[in-house]
Amino acid sequence: MGHGWEGVVLKLFRGKDFTCTVTGAEQVTERYRRVHFTDGGLLAAIGVHPTMWVRLWFDNAGKPHQRAYTLVDPEAETGTFSLEFALHDGCASDWSRKAQPGDTIEATVQGTGFEVPDPLPQRMLVIGDPASLPAINSLLAVAPKLPATIWFKTTHDGDHELPFRIDPERHELRTVPRPELVDTLKADLSELIGPDAYVWIACDTATTRALTAYVVKDLAVPKNRVKALGYWRAA
């Protein structure tokens, strides 16, 4: 399957392509699925770093469609990793539901990267949702002894059963219903923001933009202390 104009653009920006093979899958919750892969040489060529992500290419009614996913438990020595899919209507979720050992999928690596905040904050402030949970877990593993407060947007009861990798002694998890997230965050962040703040935001595009603008403009957190990425667009 060709990658269309998006693939051409990624090639211009030195995106590297790999073919990954499914080795198994498991249903974590009714709305969350984990698929395991061999990497086709990806990790040996690129290396491994926290919050590392790849673009997967799916067939969408005969047209190429790409979505980005954070690697879960990548192991360069064995050339393996997993991906976690927050299930909804769409070709990516449909593919993950049907994935069987031996299936292959094309992946492009371009744009991934991570910089440890310097100086380290006294506490990380992390905001996400089921789509960004793998990145949140990876982020918390960067500095496991660093305290963090995590606000997690929930839509369904099953979101409380997701595979959070939380250390109860250092990490505070605050689940917030979707309609209340922005108002709750504005109230909470105004109390917790300090001079060395580091804020990480990864929700849908509209929520991410609203919260980023609030943190940078209203709370005056320097842009280099805010990492924000819209993971998906609300329909």
pLDDT tens track for 110-141: 766 677 788 888 889 999 999 899 999 998 98
**DSSP label at residue 230:** -
Residue whose C-alpha is closest to residue 204's, from 138, 104, 128: 128
Dist CA 227 CA 233 (whole Å): 18
Task: For residues 94 and 176, state if they share a domain.
Answer: no
Task: For residues 96 and 176, state if they share a domain.
Answer: no
What mean pLDDT is predicted for residues 58-73? 92
Structure tokens belonging to residue 31: 């709305």
CATH assignment of the domain containing 41: 2.40.30.10
Structural domains of the chain, count = 2
Look up residue 155 and give its amino acid: T
CB neighbour list of residue 196: distance below 8 Å, 6 or more residues apart = 119, 120, 121, 122, 225
Task: For residues 71 and 132, state if they share a domain.
Answer: no
Question: Which of the listed residues 109, 142, 169 is the one where a domain comes to its end?
Answer: 109
Structure tokens belonging to residue 160: 């409380």
What mean pLDDT is predicted for residues 45-67? 90
Question: Which of the listed residues 78, 109, 140 is the one where a domain comes to its end?
Answer: 109
At residue 161, what are phi and psi to the nearest 5 degrees? -100, 5
- Position 196 scores a pLDDT of 85
What mean pLDDT is predicted for residues 28-50? 93
**DSSP label at residue 143:** S
In a domain? residue 114: no
Task: For residues 54 and 129, state if they share a domain.
Answer: no
What mean pLDDT is predicted for residues 202-223? 91
Task: For residues 8 and 98, state if they share a domain.
Answer: yes
Print the domain residue range for 41: 4-109
